[in-house]
Structure 1
Amino acid sequence: MTAGYVPPPYPYERLDEIIAIANEQDGGAVDLSIGTPCDPAPAEVVAALADGDAYRGYPPSIGSLPLRQAAARWIERRLGATVDARAELAACVGTKEFVASLPLYLALRDPSRDTVLYPAISYPTYEMGATLAGLRAVPYLSLDEINEDDAARALVVWVNSPANPTGELLDLGAAAQWGRDRGVLVASDECYAEFSWDAPPTTILRHGVQGLLAVHSLSKRDNFAGARIGFYAGDPEYVHFLREVRKHAGLMPPGPVQQAAVIALDDDGHVERQRGRYRNRLEVLATALTGAGYPAAVPGGAFYLWVPAPGGDAWAAARDLAARAGMVVSPGEFYGPAGQAYFRIAAVQPDERIELVAARLAVAPLHA
């Protein structure tokens, strides 16, 4: 009997050993491994989940017109681009499912191409989306280094700015031009757009929509990860195709969530407060880690620290930080083999837990 596909272990399920070590600390583990928000969503957004009759009927798969208009207003107001809410934008059930399913739907649209290009150090779902669709997953270190034969076979090239896990800010205009020069769709994952430190928040859609898709989520911006709501915007031909196939697949964000998302997207005040929280946590962690022998710096964007591991051994660093400070961090190999000499820290615990880690590191002996 021929063996079928066996899914690999989910990366964060490999951290049980590290969590057990960290839990030996008085006060327990401080989990900085997964980028899950810990702060509350605005009260009026949460209240909207129980208000009205949006739960009764099937919600529109593409997103209600008020939701799409709110998303378009946000893109223009915060990111400096203009999109047509009726033709160039649609909702998704959180962006992870969109990232994972996009290659499959693109392959249905153009069976002549079989390759997904994605950053060599990146969110693992880019690669997994290609795998689940039965396509070639080809990592790249920079767009300029992509083999032209691979580009000729590519359905899509993923870019991510601010990047997970590195926090790098990319030249999105150059990425748009790279794709257009080769007839390859550029999918720009911009879920950390609001958390850009070294430059104003931006989007690839400032360079037009032809051959481009921007993917956005309320998970990070609005601390709304459990509600599963996001949207994609860009080239109307691709948006139309994806809207139609996604309708047939039954992919629809819940009605109450769509209703609440309108309120969230129209409120910038809570985002500014969240920006301040993340920036402060990053600075506290970077200072504490550097003092403890792990040189760390606040990145260009996002709410992660991407830290080189002494001797290139990220698992040893993870065990050391768990033992000394009760920290749980993610070894860089979770984000591809090219990241194995680093580890990632997510600044997603409440301030008092971040301060606890800093205090533990201040009195713990240096690693060997």
Structure 2
Amino acid sequence: MTTGFVPPPYPYERLGEITALANEHEGGAVDLSIGTPCDPAPPDVLAALTSGDTARGYPPSIGTAALRNAAAAWIERRLGAVVDPDDQLAACVGTKEFVASLPLYLKLRRPDRDTVLYPAISYPTYEMGATLAGVRAVPYLRLADVDEADAERALALWVNSPANPTGELHDLAAAAEWARARGVPVVSDECYAEFTWSGRPTTILREGTDGLLAVHSLSKRDNFAGARIGFYAGDPDLVHFLREVRKHAGLMPPGPVQAAAVVALGDDEHVDVQRERYLSRLRRLVEILDRAGYPAQLPDGAFYLWVPAPDGNAWGAARDLARRVGIVVSPGEFYGPAGTDHFRVAAVQPDDRIDLAAGRIGA
């Protein structure tokens, strides 16, 4: 019998052995592997989930006018770019589903192309989205390294800044220029934009919208990951195409979630508080890792530490940290073969749990 696609194990489900070692400590494992928020969403955002009667009817797939206006106002206020909420912006059901499904829809739009370009060390769904669409996933370390033959076949170029897992800030203007010169759409994943430590938050849309899409999520910014809400904005022709095909796919964020997102996007104060939490935790984790013999540096953005593994053995480092400190970290191979000599540490546990880990190593 012919065997079709066999899904690989989900990366974080491979951490059972590491978690078991960490759980041997009194107080259990301190899980710093998955980047899931641990802090509460603002009370008024949660209250908006039950106010009104937005659950009765089908919500608009593209997002309510209120949501699109709030998202456009946030982009201008916080990131310094202007988009038309009526023609250049739409909602999505959390950005992971958008990332995973986008190559399929782009292939329908451009059947003459068959390649997705994505960072060699990155969020694994960029590659998986291409795989699920049946197209080529071609990684790059630098845009200068991309073969021109691959660029000619490209449906899209993914960029991610601040980057997961490395925390790097990339030159979005240069990416826009490179891709426009080759007729390749750029999709800029900017879900960590509010957590930019070196300089101010920005967006690729400051370069205009022609051939560009920016993707944003409320999961990290607002501790709203369980609600599954995000949006994309940019090139009006591309936004229009995606809006229409996604309507047919039945992709619509729930009405109460859209109402809550309007409240969240209008409030910057809670984000500033969250920024301080993450920066404080990152600094504390640098101290803990240094005490454990793993020198780390603060990132330029996002809330991860990207740490070199001694002798390039990231799994060995993960086991060592689980045994000695009771923390669970992610080996770098989860983010591509080019990352196998590092591991990622996510600052996503409450302060008391991080203090528990610190006490185990005497930090």
TM surpasses 0.5:
yes
Aligned to 1:313: 313
TM-fit CA distance, 1:325: 0.8
Deviations 1:210-232 (A, max 9, x none): 00000000000000000000000
Aligned to 2:286: 286
Matches within 5 A, 1:99-178: 99-178=99-178
Q: Retained in 2: the 8 A contact 1:289–1:361?
A: no
Cα separation, 2, equivalents of 1:310 and 1:293: 9
TM-fit CA distance, 1:144: 1.0
Which blocks of at least 5 consecutive residues in structure 1 are unaligned?
Answer: 364-368
User: Which residue identity lines up with residue 119 of structure 1 in the other structure?
Assistant: P
User: Which residue identity lines up with residue 142 of structure 1 in the other structure?
Assistant: R
Aligned to 1:96: 96
Tell whether 2:205 aligns with 1:205. yes
Aligned to 2:20: 20
Deviations 1:152-205 (A, max 9, x none): 000000000000000000011001101101000000000000000011000000
Deviations 1:325-366 (A, max 9, x none): 110000000000000000000000001111211221227xxx
Cα separation, 2, equivalents of 1:56 and 1:294: 53
User: Which residue identity lines up with residue 104 of structure 1 in the other structure?
Assistant: L
Tell whether 2:227 aligns with 1:245. no
Q: Retained in 2: the 8 A contact 1:327–1:357?
A: yes
Matches within 5 A, 1:1-368: 1-362=1-362
Cα separation, 2, equivalents of 1:335 and 1:70: 33
User: Which residue identity lines up with residue 315 of structure 1 in the other structure?
Assistant: W
SS at match of 1:307: strand
Cα separation, 1, equivalents of 2:150 and 2:358: 45
SS at match of 1:127: helix
Cα separation, 2, equivalents of 1:358 and 1:166: 23
User: Which residue identity lines up with residue 233 of structure 1 in the other structure?
Assistant: A
User: Which residue identity lines up with residue 141 of structure 1 in the other structure?
Assistant: L
User: Which residue identity lines up with residue 173 of structure 1 in the other structure?
Assistant: A
TM-fit CA distance, 1:287: 1.5
Deviations 1:95-117 (A, max 9, x none): 00000000000000000000000
User: Which residue identity lines up with residue 208 of structure 1 in the other structure?
Assistant: G
User: Which residue identity lines up with residue 186 of structure 1 in the other structure?
Assistant: V
SS at match of 1:345: strand
Cα separation, 2, equivalents of 1:122 and 1:359: 32
Cα separation, 2, equivalents of 1:283 and 1:311: 25
User: Which residue identity lines up with residue 115 of structure 2 in the other structure?
Assistant: T
SS at match of 1:209: coil
User: Which residue identity lines up with residue 23 of structure 1 in the other structure?
Assistant: N
TM-fit CA distance, 1:291: 2.2
Which blocks of at least 5 consecutive residues in structure 2 are unaligned?
Answer: none
User: Which residue identity lines up with residue 359 of structure 1 in the other structure?
Assistant: G
SS at match of 1:210: coil
Q: Retained in 2: the 8 A contact 1:331–1:340?
A: yes
Identity of aligned residues (%): 75
Cα separation, 2, equivalents of 1:332 and 1:8: 16
Query: How many positions carry a matched residue from both structures?
Result: 363
SS at match of 1:288: helix
Cα separation, 1, equivalents of 2:32 and 2:254: 29
Aligned to 1:366: none
Cα separation, 1, equivalents of 2:130 and 2:361: 40
